[in-house]
Amino acid sequence: MRQELEKQAVHLGIERYVLFTGLRKDVPEILKCLDVFVLASTHEAMGRVLVEAMASGLPVVATKVGGVPEIVEQGVMGFLVPPASPACLADAIIHLLRDKNLAKMSSHNC
């Protein structure tokens, strides 16, 4: 879907803010550079990438799909939001970015 997503980024005027990296072998190093990890899937079997992000110490925002709620405990290492709800997703991301004490996140419901 890369070409379709690249076209969508251009259509939305956000192409200069989006980086399509392709296959990477340095994911742990990249995760160290992030403030929040976001998984906005509409379908997700297990969400292994969430385990990797949390193992790196990152708070996460993820959609309540598939096995994701089994991995992310609401308000402990991140927030769960309904799938296909961009406003809830954005709200949770902003909440995390404004929270200076991520280890003591409060519950955030949408």
Phi, psi of 32 (to 5 degrees): -65, -20
Q: Where do we find the tokens 């419901």?
A: 109
Q: How many CB atoms lie within 10 A of CB 75?
A: 14
What CATH number should be reported for the domain whose range is 25-101? 3.40.50.2000
pLDDT attached to residue 69: 95
pLDDT attached to residue 86: 97
pLDDT attached to residue 104: 46
Order the strands of the 78-81 sheet from edge to edge. 37-39, 60-63, 78-81
Over the stretch 18-58, which tens digit does the pLDDT of each residue have? 999 999 999 999 999 998 999 999 999 988 999 999 999 89
Provide the residue ranges of all domains of the chain, joining segments of one domain with +: 25-101
Structure confidence at residue 106 as a pLDDT band (50, 70, 90) = very low
pLDDT attached to residue 75: 85
